[in-house]
Amino acid sequence: MTMPLGVTAVMLPDLDFSQQIALCQDVDITHYSIRPRVIADDQRDQPWGFWGNHKFDLTPRRLVEQARQITRQLADAGMVPFGTNPATNIDASDDELKLHLEGAAAVRAGRVRVATAPYPQGPFEYSSLLDQVVDRYRQIVAMAQPMGLKIVIETHHGSLASGPGVAMNICRHFDPSQLGVIFDMPNFAIEGNLAPHLAIAVLGNYIDHCHVGGARRTSGQSDGQGFRKASHEMCSLTQSDLHIPTWIGALHKANKHVPLVIEDFTAARTSEDNLKHSAEQLRKILDSLP
C-alpha cells in the first residue's frame, strides 16, 4: 500500500483505548492519532460524541502520565502513535502548549496539531493579523524543536488556514521539518477548495499527512429576501462533494505518499462502522492506483 492508513481518535468516542486498538487491528490501521482533550463538565453526562463526551478520557496530563503504557499497547498491536490532536490553538498560553508538547514527546508522536485562531467575522486587516500569527508560530516552533516535535496546521474552515493558499502564507516562513500542514479533505468540501493538483502544488512539501472524510453541502434555508443559504453536513467518503479518488490519485501522481488519517463523522452510523467503511473504500482507491 502506497499510503498508510490511520485514524484520529476523535472519531471513536464510544470506544475505550483497548477497543479502539482492537478495531484498528481488525481493519489494518497502523497510524493512531491521539486525542488529548479535557471533556467539558456539561458533556460528561451526555451521550458519547465526537466533540464532546469520550469513553477514553485521555486528558493532556494523563497522556504525559500514561505515555509508556499507551506506546506499549500500540506497539504490541503493530501500530504507531502518529501526532496528537489537542483542542488548542495559537492563543493558548505557553504553559498549556508546553503540556501538549510534553505529552506528544513522551509518546514519540512526532507532531502536534496547533490550530490558527479563527478569522474575524467582519472586515479586518489580513496582513497585520498574518504577521501576528506567524510570529506566534515562531514561538511555538521554538518550544517544539528541542523536543523533536513538528507543529502541524490543519486546513480547517473558519481558520486563517482554511485553504492551501492562506495556509502557505503561514508555512512559507518555516522549513517543512518545523511546520507542516494537515491536508484536510472534508474541510476542503466546506471552505478553501481548489482543484486537487493546484492545492497539492501550492503546499508541496509542507503536506505532512491527510485527514480523509466526507462532507457535502445541503440545501439549507432561504433568507428573508428569498436567497438560499447553503449549509453542510459530514457524510461517508462515497457521498462527499469532493471526489476522493481524484484527490488521492493526485497525491499519488505528485509522489506525496503521506499517511491517510481517517476522520469519518457520519452521524447515521456507529464509529466502528464509519471506520470500517472508510478503510474499505480507501483500500479500493489505493489498490486501483497505477
**What are the extents of the domains in the chain?**
5-287
Span 181-212, pLDDT tens digits: 999 999 999 998 899 999 999 999 999 999 99
Tally of CA atoms within 13 A in the half-sphere of 75 that contains its CB: 9
Local structure of 170: helix, strand or coil:
helix
Distance separating alpha carbons of residues 180 and 35, to the nearest angstrom: 19
Q: Is the pTM of this model over 0.85?
A: yes
Local structure of 53: helix, strand or coil:
strand
Q: How many Cβ atoms are within 10 Å of 198's Cβ, its own excluded?
A: 12
Q: Which class would CATH give 5-287?
A: alpha beta
Name the phi and psi angles at 91, rounded to 5.
-80, -5
Span 257-271, pLDDT tens digits: 999 999 999 998 999
Span 149-176, pLDDT tens digits: 999 999 999 999 999 999 999 999 999 9
Task: Spell out where 85-213 has E strands.
Answer: 111-113, 150-154, 179-184, 207-212
Nearest residue to 13 via CA among 54, 59, 58? 54
Distance separating alpha carbons of residues 276 and 205, to the nearest angstrom: 30
With 0-12 CB in 10 A as exposed, 13-18 as middle and 19+ as buried, what is 100? buried
- 4-18, 37-51, 217-231: the lowest-pLDDT one: 217-231
Span 80-134, pLDDT tens digits: 999 999 999 999 999 999 999 999 999 999 999 999 989 999 999 999 999 999 9
Report the interhelical angle of 244-253 vs 271-287 (nearest 10°).
Answer: 50
